Structure 1
Amino acid sequence: MNLKLVFLLFIISCTCTFAQDGGKFKVVLDAGHGGKDFGALYHGYVEKNITLNVALKVGKLLEQDNAIQVLYTRKTDVFVALSERPDMANRADANLFISIHCNGEPKKAAFGTETFIMGPTKNASNLEVAKKENSVIKLEKDKEKYEGFDPNKPEALLSAVPDATLNNSIDLASKIQDGFTSTLKRKNRGVKYAPFWILNKASMPGVVIELGFVSYEQEGAFLNSEDGQDDMAKAIAKAIQSYKKEYYTGGGTEYKEPAANSGTATVRIVAETKPAEKPETKPEAKPAVAAAKGVTFKVQISASGKSLETVPENFKGLTNISKDASAAVIKYYYGATDSYDEAKQLLVTAKEKGYTSAFVVAFKDGKKITVQEALGKK
């Protein structure tokens, strides 16, 4: 057979294989601790075992969806360097990085679930959680790769999370907490900022989930049980699937970890700003794209742990600002309209004002839905 023809057939074969693997939504599940790193250990409940069991259960649920590719930082009881965890997600060009942990504290009184996103905090308990999870560095031989980072001083970690990534992380964290608390009735300790090394190094939306306190005997027993792990895994998987439905449009490719491998900007916290001199651009009247009855479109412009008055001088001169303070991280929205076309014009205005990572969101009867759902409901 002609050599050129053979080469052409080979290229076609590779292209077909690549196309078949396309469109994967890649999720990296990071079971905290492992091997010589036991994590929290109270009443005989071992964090590294609980996190691994839950991660494997989440993965099994997600793998039922052929459009999702699940990667694990570990699938057995092995020690994984802290640096390797986000590195794997970055190499895979993953869509989400989910790190699963359990809490523990010496007084054995605290209980409840909390989900962290990357960001600065002055809250002592949040910093303590970050110190605990960053401290695995002390068990590693090669510390040079951490460039002098001291796990006992996480507040010194300068974050590199773009606005869009932060907003997506907040929404994912909120979905996870809602599943834990609304469905499973676990105590809600909220969505919180903390300086985690692994989240700072991950280049995609990511969260650190604290399933609960193994130091609180009743909660530890729940997390150590088969039923408890099943329930928590289902809530996490459901939140990830909801996030995928809302944010993912496809286009990724399947990732295969190389055989040789074992398994800076600053977070923008909304601050007061002077009114912009440029007058607010008014949306032009255009034929409206039909939306469902009761649907409202808004433009999410920022998210912050700080509560601001919704006055123009706090939002670069924009008027008609609203906020959702139902979680620890407050979301700020610009405008409100039942026309998707007008919402897109509002988005243009927001970006002109400097909110470059703003995006359109939709609500039906006060509950957030996807824009696709808003336009598809007749």
Structure 2
Amino acid sequence: MKQANKSILLVLILLSVSLLINAKVKPFTVVIDPGHGGKDPGATRAGVCESNINLDIALLVGSMLEKHHDIKVVYTRKTDKTLEPVERMETANKANGDIFVSIHVNSAYNEAKKRDVTTTHGVEVYIQTVENTDRKTRTLKQKSSITSIGENGIEVSKRYDENNSPTFNAIYEIKQAQIFNLSNNLATYIGNEMGEKERKIRGVKQQSLYVTWQTIVPSVLVEVGYITNPEERAFMTSKDGQRNLATGIYNGILKYKNDFDLSKESMKSITAVQNMQAYDTETVEEDSNSIVSKESTNKDEIVFMWQIMTSSTPLKDNDYRFKKLKCSFYKENNIYKYTYGSSTDYKEVQKLQADIKKLFSDAFIIAMKNGKRIDINEARKQQ
């Protein structure tokens, strides 16, 4: 374990997944994506094209954000031009942004009656589905890099073969889980703020959308209203209506940014894992009351780890409550206690606090020795 930790320390100083920033170096960057455009007008009713509404609202949101000296806005398009989905994603992922907001207009059609549903109205905000978390993790691995600092002090960005590095796998798994939760926060803020503008909010929803799982930052898709509803269509094409909708999105982004500013750790590199090894999901039962990781080769060694939850029954490795992290467990008094991350160095485990607490607010550090949990204070004294 010590040799592995030493190698990781030399290679990994910080994780750079494009969304991860140092706020002192760059401004808070918002990537705005007006849906459709050019040869793809999107939904069209009564001579009104979705692509034009999307662009008008996107430019309004951007113009309000650009008044802030610490905010940078990047657009996937600023004119009525055709973009392939991959072009939008390339713009978003190269922008080194902090969030991605795609703006669209909804429609409702009754297939059985072959006609529009003209009464459906309101705002919907979409994020990636829970089922797409594996896709998202693969996207992070494929499109992102890990920045390391060599012995000469020069930073080098490099992609690693995830099959050869369980530690880097753990980094990406944690970051994917963070992105999912941050996306949900952003969607909730935008929905709530648009609701403050007297729009009906149909909720935050999950859907398998290319623009949400192909990005490497917290991402949402906002459906600002229904073009098939005559009243809502008139509202979305009016200057007052567009200003109203844009202001709701703008306020939601500012609410999210406020959280960002209050807790820089939410988007910082996971330097805490630079000297940690991923905790293997495979376990071995030593007796009826103790299950420990196969990773522990020295039973007399004290190992620190995060306890994230308990259960009266065993949980599957892919249980949704693990939020896509690869966890292990030990059994105590017939209770299954699930853990994540392990190191013989308490300080290294402690460095994960900001990231772990965002996923599991009640998590805490425990100490294990000889397959048994021991008093944490006594364990620290023995270090």
TM-score (ref. length: structure 1): 0.53
Shift of 1:49: 0.6
- Cα distance in 1 for partners of 2:220, 2:23 equals 30
| Equivalent residue in structure 1 for 2:36, among 30, 33, 36 | 33
| Equivalent residue in structure 2 for 1:50, among 53, 68, 71 | 53
User: 1:224 is matched with which residue?
Assistant: 237
Shift of 1:359: 2.8
1:24-78 deviations in whole A, cap 9, x for unaligned?
Answer: 1111100001011110111232111100000000000000111111000111111
Runs of 4 or more above 6 Å deviation: 276-279, 353-356
1:131-169 deviations in whole A, cap 9, x for unaligned?
Answer: xxxxxxxxxxxxxxxxxxxxxxxxxxxx99811000000
| Equivalent residue in structure 1 for 2:210, among 186, 197, 218 | 197
- Cα distance in 1 for partners of 2:186, 2:64 equals 17
Q: Which runs of 5+ in 2 are unaligned?
A: 1-21, 110-115, 133-172, 268-288, 293-307, 316-320, 324-337, 343-348, 362-383
User: 2:227 is matched with which residue?
Assistant: 214
User: 1:125 is matched with which residue?
Assistant: none
% identical aligned pairs: 32
1:275-329 deviations in whole A, cap 9, x for unaligned?
Answer: x9679xxxxxxxxxxxxxxxxxxxxx8xxxxxxxx9844897xxxxxxxxxxxxx
- Cα distance in 1 for partners of 2:247, 2:64 equals 7
Partner SS state of residue 100, structure 2: strand
User: 2:178 is matched with which residue?
Assistant: 164
Farther off after superposition, 27-36 or 42-51: 42-51
Alignment map for 1:1-378 (pairs within 5 Å): 22-106=25-109, 107-108=116-117, 109-119=119-129, 162-181=176-195, 183-248=196-261, 249=264, 312-313=311-312, 357-360=355-358
Asked if the contact 2:260–2:266 (Cα under 8 Å) also holds between the matched residues in 1, the reply is: no
Partner SS state of residue 58, structure 1: helix
- Cα distance in 1 for partners of 2:188, 2:128 equals 14
- Cα distance in 1 for partners of 2:260, 2:43 equals 34
- Cα distance in 2 for partners of 1:168, 1:20 equals 17
- Cα distance in 1 for partners of 2:204, 2:106 equals 15
- Cα distance in 1 for partners of 2:209, 2:23 equals 36
Count, aligned residues: 230
Amino acid at match of 1:189: R
* Structure 2 CA distance for partners of 1:25 and 1:311, relative to 1, 3 Å: same
- Cα distance in 2 for partners of 1:58, 1:91 equals 21
Amino acid at match of 1:173: A
Asked if the contact 2:33–2:77 (Cα under 8 Å) also holds between the matched residues in 1, the reply is: yes
* Structure 2 CA distance for partners of 1:219 and 1:352, relative to 1, 3 Å: same
- Cα distance in 2 for partners of 1:315, 1:189 equals 36
* Structure 2 CA distance for partners of 1:20 and 1:171, relative to 1, 3 Å: closer
Asked if the contact 1:161–1:200 (Cα under 8 Å) also holds between the matched residues in 2, the reply is: no
Amino acid at match of 2:62: G
Amino acid at match of 2:126: F
Asked if the contact 1:33–1:48 (Cα under 8 Å) also holds between the matched residues in 2, the reply is: yes
User: 2:6 is matched with which residue?
Assistant: none
* Structure 2 CA distance for partners of 1:21 and 1:79, relative to 1, 3 Å: farther
- The structure whose residues are more often strand, as a share, is 2
Farther off after superposition, 159-168 or 213-222: 159-168
Partner SS state of residue 42, structure 2: coil
* Structure 2 CA distance for partners of 1:350 and 1:26, relative to 1, 3 Å: farther
Asked if the contact 1:111–1:216 (Cα under 8 Å) also holds between the matched residues in 2, the reply is: yes
